[in-house]
Amino acid sequence: MTIETDSARIVGGVRYGKTLGSPISLLIENKDWVNWHEKMAATDPGAEQRAPRLTNPRPGHADYAGSIKYHQDDIRNVIERSSARETAMRVAIAAICRKFFADFGVRVYSHVVAIGGVTAAPISRETALDEYMAGVEASAVRCGDANAEQKMTDAIDCAIAMKDTVGGIFELVVDGLPVGLGSFAHFDKRLDGILAQAMLSIHAMKGVEFGAGFRAAGLPGSQVHDQMYPDARGVLRRTNNAGGIEGGMTNGERLVLRVAMKPLSTLMQPLDSVSLATGEAVQALHERSDVCAVPAAAIVGEAMALLALMNPFLEKFGGDSMKEVHAHLKATPGSPWL
């Protein structure tokens, strides 16, 4: 939505542009709050009587399950807390992580690869990401394939005309990660598991795949596993079907994963539902909504990748200062036989 021109303000934990070691506090002001004083009043008892109760849950949203779970007779209490607006702060926090990783040559990129059934041409492992991303950032749908971009825009326009919504898929590429982040020995520290949980924590995400992903399930192993060849730097690979992760750990290749987003659950033409107040058949609640949020979701995906990678990186190379982290990374041995 064009009204959502968010900006984050640092209010603690930083001095002269550098962290102090204390918690970093960020503030994002909701510029639309002036229109919600009545509906979301914190202390005015009379406001509850003036604001209508919402009781018609939207299929696909948190409305129904959340109301039952927390015994709410007004799904407004679920709507506001379950809103994807919450991801604004995740993106703000991840901006700090991005600056941290940039100091070690690690970059996170995202681009849209599908919207409404339209699929973009895949990028190769040799693609110059900075050059490719210039085209992505110039695209209204964050797609670097110009032909697919226009078809995606047409699919969104068609959904608008039909008062419907469309989902899609975005791809994340992380460049510059060292070998060995994650673990093969602890189930809860396997990096692909950590990243998958992070991606599925984003509203409306329904699937995650790494590298060749689900396509690999239909191929013989000889066509899936990335063979290794001797190289001056240690090991050379000519493919990256694993998406940069083997055995729950980074293997030195680009980390590549794709995330599937379902169509948004608030439609301009409401779906059938059941009133939680009367049990009767009704039309689902209609709130303002987007038609397609896949390009925005890709940015949130970048944020979650950055947040999810921080702990594994610091567990392996951590220290009490940037100087120490750099020293630990530099002291990590390469291939043991070299």
Rounded to whole angstroms, how far apart are CA atoms 305 and 295? 16
- Could you identify the residue written with the tokens 């968010």? 6
Rounded to whole angstroms, how far apart are CA atoms 139 and 336? 45
Strand order in the sheet with 168-175: 118-119, 107-115, 168-175, 255-261, 205-210
Predicted pLDDT at 336: 58
Rounded to whole angstroms, how far apart are CA atoms 258 and 254? 13
Q: Which fold has domain 88-331?
A: Chorismate synthase, AroC fold (3.60.150)
Domain ranges of the chain: 1-49, 88-331
Beta bridge pairs of residue 234: 231
Question: Within 13 A of 302's CA, how many CA atoms are on the CB side?
Answer: 24
- The secondary structure element, H or E, covering residue 97 is helix 87-102
Number of residues written out for the chain: 338
Per-residue pLDDT of the chain (338 residues; tens, 9 = 90+): 566 677 899 999 999 999 998 999 999 988 877 888 778 888 887 777 788 889 999 999 999 999 999 999 999 999 989 999 899 999 999 999 999 999 999 999 999 999 999 999 999 888 899 999 999 999 999 999 999 999 999 999 999 999 999 999 999 999 999 999 999 999 999 999 999 999 999 999 999 999 999 999 999 999 999 999 998 878 999 999 999 999 999 999 999 999 999 999 999 899 999 999 999 999 998 877 789 999 999 999 999 999 999 999 999 999 999 999 999 999 987 655 54
For 264-327, the DSSP string reads PS--SSPPEEE-TTT--EEEPP-----S--HHHHHHHHHHHHHHHHHHHHHHHH--SSHHHHHH
Extract the tokens encoding 11.
């209010």
Rounded to whole angstroms, how far apart are CA atoms 85 and 4? 9
